[in-house]
Structure 1
Amino acid sequence: MATATGSGGMHVGRLLVQVGSILACIAFWQVASTLRLNLGIVTFRNVPPPTEVLQSLIVLLQSPKLLAHLGSSLGRVFAGYGVAALLGILLGFAIGRSRAASDVLLPPLELLRPIPAVAWIPLSILMFPSSELSMIFITFIGALFPIVLNTIHGVANVDRRLVASARSLGGSRAAILWEIVLPGAAPSIVTGLAIGMGTSWFCLVTAEMISGQFGIGYYTWESYTLQNYADIIVGMLVIGLFGMGSSWLLTTLGHVLMPWRSPMVAR
């Protein structure tokens, strides 16, 4: 009982520290923007304070366009991410399990991986018949490579002794893949899925720069062109919250589906 009480107190203490750090950042932001602080390299002269951003957020929450913006962005992100997750896991397993597949598939993937999402915009416009598909493709590109690389890492680092033991006991290739390789690689796959989700949201603004009339990324970019600076930060925060929330859901789901893996405790 004492241990449980102590553990609960530690969790509350950590939560207070985390909330306090966020509040301290907001307080600094408010003071720096109000005083138009100029640090030489960084200036807050044109940065709206949190109070102004909050007012813009309230206006957005009351706007009938909010659901259209959210619906468009969620549809694009999850469509691109869903395809990237399926293809990325399949490619990762193939490359991680087969030297021939690695020789054929990994070089072009490594060549394409460093190309930023914004550089794909002209080609995506040429490749796809609609701007909507072009935007989905950009979110797909953002999510694909983290998923592929983490899946490769997870598959390649499965303990070979377990695989050899299963083979010696007469395990089929399908059984070994399903009962040993997949559980062993699952933590890395979940990490890749979480990173890919965050990257997909990161690429959303780039994707919605192509075209469109709705979307949080489009709303953020339009606010910049109209010089509505508080709305820019609102759009950034909404994207950040949705990206963080979706990544957290994936990580939590991974812990639920992997009861054999104890969550890492930060010290």
Structure 2
Amino acid sequence: MDSKTSAAIRTAEPPAKAVEPPALGGKVAKESVPAASHLEQQTATVPGVSATWLKAIGPRYLVRIAALIVAVLLWELASTKGFDFYINFDNIPAPSVVGTALIAELTGTEFYLHILHSLERVAIAYVLAVVLGILLGVAMGRSRWAEDIIMPYIELLRPIPAVAWIPLAILMLPTEQSSIIFITFLGALFPVILNTVHGVEQTNGVLVRAARSLGASRTAILWHVILPGAMPSIVAGLAIGMGVAWFSLLAGEIISGQYGIGYYTWNSYTLIQYPQIIIGMLTIGGLGTLCTLLVRKGCNPLLKWQAKGGRS
């Protein structure tokens, strides 16, 4: 077969059918299926995440709530039966009586004034303690001279209880409000300082030398190496300081306060109002727990780099 015959045969063959692009409607239909399935997967994943979270976290909270309920039931039983074996529950009001008194307190306004005054004092004292405590702790952790100068004062003043500061605070400061804030400030200051010093001293020296060899300044090393490395200890000090702040606040308000949950508790004792005493104690515990939880949750973004430890 010569070249002319082959060319004639190729010319006689029908042209191949062109492949047309899919219509717009078909394209949308094809792409809409994966989108719908993806949306269904997302919708199906949300309950799965919730179920996983409830399965992991739910039992822990159930155990905690159950433990509290058992304690309240034992308290109710001991009070109603007059349990008296080393611990005398004859004069301790039962939880049902305390609950009735609490409802009566919540219907008025004075109880909320006590809480607001205490929260204001703790907030002012705690902020001052955190700022000064971290500054002094970092200075002592980075400088031996600063530690030798400041540490003797801390070790001398730290064991003094909050109640012992009350007369001196009243003599030094012009108002009762400032005296209570000063006593609360001292209670929160020392845990923050000592934990900050510990965290700064425990910072890995290899990281500091590596940053210095790369040309980092002292400020950059402090901000990007030392403070992040010391942050777990600092956060622990902040949480402990919040608890000690409420303890110190109670002592200050008992002696020299006119408003506050500590004054409310002590005044209830002087008026022989036993349910109100327990209300004040539980309110202090609840507020202290809530404030400590807020501190921990607020500091969580600063600890994202930290690996979570295992727990059985």
Cα deviation for residue 17 of structure 1 reads 1.0
Within-5 A mapping of 1:99-110: 99-110=144-155
Q: For the residues of structure 2 that align with 1:3 and 1:58, how far apart are their CA atoms?
A: 38
Indicate yes or no: 2:104 matched with 1:59: yes
Cα deviation for residue 115 of structure 1 reads 0.9
Cα deviation for residue 67 of structure 1 reads 2.6
Q: For the residues of structure 1 that align with 2:106 and 2:309, how far apart are their CA atoms?
A: 37
Please name the residue that 2:87 is paired with.
Answer: 42
Please name the residue that 1:140 is paired with.
Answer: 185
Please name the residue that 1:162 is paired with.
Answer: 207
Larger Rg: 2
Please name the residue that 1:115 is paired with.
Answer: 160
Cα deviation for residue 253 of structure 1 reads 1.2
Please name the residue that 2:10 is paired with.
Answer: none
Within-5 A mapping of 1:7-18: 8-18=54-64
Instruction: List per-residue Cα deviations over 1:193-221 (Å, max 9, x = no partner).
Output: 11111111111210102323211111001
Q: For the residues of structure 1 that align with 2:54 and 2:115, how far apart are their CA atoms?
A: 37
Cα deviation for residue 266 of structure 1 reads 3.8
Please name the residue that 1:211 is paired with.
Answer: 256
Cα deviation for residue 108 of structure 1 reads 1.2
Please name the residue that 1:235 is paired with.
Answer: 280
CA root-mean-square deviation: 1.7
Cα deviation for residue 163 of structure 1 reads 0.2
Three-state SS of the structure 1 residue aligned to 2:256 is coil
**Where in structure 2 are there 5+ consecutive unaligned residues?**
1-44
Structure 1 length as normaliser, TM-score? Answer: 0.95
Q: Is the 8 Å Cα contact of residues 122 and 249 (structure 2) preserved in structure 1?
A: yes
Three-state SS of the structure 1 residue aligned to 2:304 is coil
Cα deviation for residue 190 of structure 1 reads 1.1
Identity of aligned residues (%): 49
Number of aligned residue pairs: give it.
Answer: 266
Cα deviation for residue 14 of structure 1 reads 1.6
Cα deviation for residue 81 of structure 1 reads 1.0
Indicate yes or no: 2:73 matched with 1:21: no
Please name the residue that 2:26 is paired with.
Answer: none
Indicate yes or no: 2:295 matched with 1:250: yes
Cα deviation for residue 3 of structure 1 reads 10
Q: 2:228 aligns with which of 161, 169, 183?
A: 183
Indicate yes or no: 2:266 matched with 1:221: yes
Instruction: List per-residue Cα deviations over 1:2-58 (Å, max 9, x = no partner).
Output: 99956642322222111111100000000001111001x211111111011111111
Q: 2:241 aligns with which of 192, 196, 206?
A: 196
Please name the residue that 1:31 is paired with.
Answer: 77
Cα deviation for residue 265 of structure 1 reads 5.2
Please name the residue that 1:130 is paired with.
Answer: 175
Question: What is the one-letter code of the residue matched to 1:136?
Answer: I
Please name the residue that 1:174 is paired with.
Answer: 219
**Where in structure 1 are there 5+ consecutive unaligned residues?**
none
Q: For the residues of structure 1 that align with 2:50 and 2:310, how far apart are their CA atoms?
A: 15
Q: For the residues of structure 2 that align with 1:185 and 1:218, how far apart are their CA atoms?
A: 37
Q: For the residues of structure 2 that align with 1:263 and 1:207, how far apart are their CA atoms?
A: 39
Q: For the residues of structure 2 that align with 1:124 and 1:105, how far apart are their CA atoms?
A: 21
Q: For the residues of structure 1 that align with 2:158 and 2:140, how far apart are their CA atoms?
A: 15
Q: Is the 8 Å Cα contact of residues 255 and 261 (structure 1) preserved in structure 2?
A: no
Q: Is the 8 Å Cα contact of residues 135 and 210 (structure 1) preserved in structure 2?
A: no
Structure 2 length as normaliser, TM-score? Answer: 0.82
Q: For the residues of structure 2 that align with 1:33 and 1:165, how far apart are their CA atoms?
A: 64
Cα deviation for residue 262 of structure 1 reads 3.7
